[in-house]
Structure formats: structure tokens, C-alpha cells
Structure 1
Amino acid sequence: MKLYYRPYTCSLSPHIVLRELELDFELIKVDKESRQTSDGRDFNTINPKGYVAALELDDGQILTEGPAIVQYLADLRPEKNLAPPSGSWERVRLQEWLNFVTSEIHAGSAPLFNEGLPEQAKDFFRDKLFSRFAVLEATLERQDYLLGASFSVADAYLFTVLSWFRFFKIDLGRWPAIAAYAQNLSRRPSIQSALRFEAGK
């Protein structure tokens, strides 16, 4: 398998999951400006959407969209328990969290990357985002992970998005349970190795 990625983007989530599952994979870096891959291909021919992540399977099929990729990967090694069994109620809960992170936390924070956006507009997006953080804070005050007692692919995704907040100068310490959760996840070997690789260390 090949994972097409850019450092510190949403492709970090499947990168973490691949390491957590101890699967064989190759990482192919995508240049942000030229959209060329590190092995000399035009990334738009791999994923016409133009953005990472994209997972290329051994038979040449391409899978895109992080939440779909991480669930596919988790199902390759079900004994690792990164996703509940397909068709179970617990799996639906996982999908609920993945959708929340996608639509409310990931998409909600995306406008803050726009340096040309007026500060008043950024305030609007921050306020909406912080209201969603209240849901996360309440959840993580009573349990260690999004699904309860064990780490899942939803946590890999949420960690990825939370790691961007330093770029926005937003201190996660305002939400003690979220800050403790992010700190706890940062100690996982899979996350540490993924971050070291993407930092070029």
C-alpha cells in the first residue's frame, strides 16, 4: 500500500493508523504547490480532488477521504480493535464521531488557515468551533477516548486536527480534558513515530 501525504495535514490520521496496525506501507509525499509526488507523478492523476490523503492499494485502486481510509485500514487488522465490527451499533457510534470531527472540528477550523480572512470573520468561526469543543470537553471529562476506554481511529483523526491549533495560537489549556487527552495521545508510539517521520527526523 502507498499513502500519499503532506506533513501536518489530515493525512497524518491514516499515517498514525498504519503504524498502529503495523501494516506494510510506503509513504509518498505530495508537494503542496506543484502537486507532484516524491516519486515523480502528478497527484491529480491519483486523486482528481487534488488533496491528501489518498491510499493506493496493491491492486491499483485508490481510496480517498480520511474517515473512509482509516475504517478500511482498521478492518484489515480487526484484532487490533481500532474500530468496532462493521454492522455493530458501536461501529455506528464510531462513524458518528468521525463525522463530527470531519464536519465540525476539521471543517470548522479550516477557515482559520486563511490569512486573508478578516479578524471579525475569524472570531465567528472560532466561536462556533469553541461551542463544539464544549461537546468534546464534556465527553473527555468522563472517558479517556472518544469511544470510551480504548483508542480508535476516531482518536487518531481528532489528535491530527487538534495538533493544528498551535498554528492558530489557540491554547488547548482552556479545555483541561481536551488538553490532557491530546497530551496522553502524543505519548503513543505510533503517533510519535509518525510525527518524527513527517518532521524529517
Structure 2
Amino acid sequence: MKLYYSPGVCSLASHIVLREAGLPFAPVRVDLNTHTFDDGANYYAINQHGYVPLLELGDGQRLTEGPAIMQYVADRVPEKKLAPAWGTMERYRLVEWLAFISSELHRNFGPLFNPAMPDDVREYHCKRVLDRFQWVDRQLDGKTYLVGDTYTVADAYLFVVANWGKLVGVDLGDFKNLNALLDRVSSRAAVEEALKIEGLI
């Protein structure tokens, strides 16, 4: 398999999950500014959308969208318990969290990376992000991870998105439960390995 990624963006979550799974894969870096590879080849030839992540399977099929990729990888190694079994309520809770992180956190962070964003629009998105993280913090009260006591792909995704706060000036320091979870995730060997490979530590 090949994982097409760009350092520090949402593809980092898929990168972490692949390392947690222990499946063999080759990480392939994409420059999202030029949509090219290190050798100058055009990434659009691989993915017409031009974004990451993209997982290329051994048979040549290509899978896009982080939540789909992470669940695919988790289901290849059910013994790792990176995702609950399909048909269980816990699996639908996982899907619920992945959808929330994607639509309510990831999406609202996006505009904050635009340096030309007007101050009033920036303030609006900062408030939305903080409101939603406050809600996440409340949901984590008394829990070790998002889906109970077991680390899942949703925790990897939340870890990546929450760490964008440091890059755009959104201070999440007041959220005790959230930060406890982020500390637990950051201490995992697969997370450290993915961060090193992407040049983030």
C-alpha cells in the first residue's frame, strides 16, 4: 500500500493509524502548494481532487477521505481494536465521532489557516472551534478515550485536528479532559513515529 500525505495536515491521522495497525505501506509525500511529488511529478495524475490523504491498495484501487481510510485500515486488523466491530453500537459511536470531528472541528479550522481571512470571520471561526472543543471536553469527563476505554481511530483524528490550535492561535489549554486525552495519544509509539517521519518532531 501507499499513503499519499502532506506533513501535519489531516492525512497525519491516517498515517498514525497505519503505523498503529502495523500494516506494510510506503508513505509518499505530496506538496499541497504545487500538487507535486518530490520528483516534480503531478499529484493530480493520481488524485483529481488534489488533496490528501489517499490510500493506494495493493490491487491498485484508491481510497480517499480520512475517515474512510482509517476505518478500512482498522478493519484489516480487528485484533488491534482500532475500531469496534460493525453492527455494534460502539461502531456507530465511532462513526458519530469521526463525522463530528470532520464536520465541526476540521471544517471550522480550515479558514483559520488563510492569512487573508478578515478579522471578523476569523473571530467567528475561532469561537465556533472553541465552543465545539468545550463540548468535546464535557463528553470526555470520566472517559479515557472518545469511545470509552479503548483507543480508536477517532482519537488519532482528534489528536491531529486539536493540535492545529497551536498553529492558528486557538488556545485549548483550559480543556482538562481534552488535554489529558491528547497527552495519552501523543505518548503512543506509532504517533511519535509518524510525527518523526513527517518531520514534525
Tell me the TM-score normalised to structure 2 length. 0.96
1:53 alignment partner AA:
P
The residue identity in structure 1 corresponding to 2:130 is F
The letter of the residue matching 2:151 is: F
The percent of aligned pairs where both chains have the same amino acid is: 45
Larger deviation: 30-39 or 52-61? Answer: 30-39
Mapped partners of 2:40, 2:111: distance in 1: 31
Residue in structure 2 matched with residue 90 of structure 1 by the alignment: 90
Question: Kindly tell me: are residues 88 and 41 of structure 1, through their superposed partners in 2, closer, same or farther at Cα, counting changes over 3 Å?
Answer: farther
Answer yes or no: is the 8 Å Cα contact 1:43–1:50 preserved in 2: yes
The separation in 1 between residues aligned to 2:45 and 2:92, in whole angstroms, is 33
- Residue in 1 aligned with 2:2? 2
Partner amino acid for 1:76? R
CA–CA distance in 2 between the matches of 1:160 and 1:75? 21
User: 1:200 and 1:172, CA in 2 relative to 1: closer, same or farther beyond 3 A?
Assistant: closer
Deviation at 1:88, TM superposition (A): 2.0
Alignment of 1:101-140 (within 5 A): 101-140=101-140
Correspondence for 2:18:
18
Query: RMSD of aligned C-alpha atoms?
Result: 1.3
Structure 2 unmatched runs, 5+: none
Q: Deviations over 1:45-99 (max 9, x none)?
A: 2111110000000111110000000000000000000001122221111100000
Give the TM-score of the pair, scaled to structure 1: 0.96
Amino acid at match of 1:138: R
User: How many residues align structurally?
Assistant: 201
Residue-by-residue CA offset, 1:135-185 (whole Å, 9 max, x unaligned): 211112220110010100000101010111111122221211112211221
Give ranges in structure 1 of 5+ residues lacking alignment: none
* SS of the residue 1:47 aligns to: coil
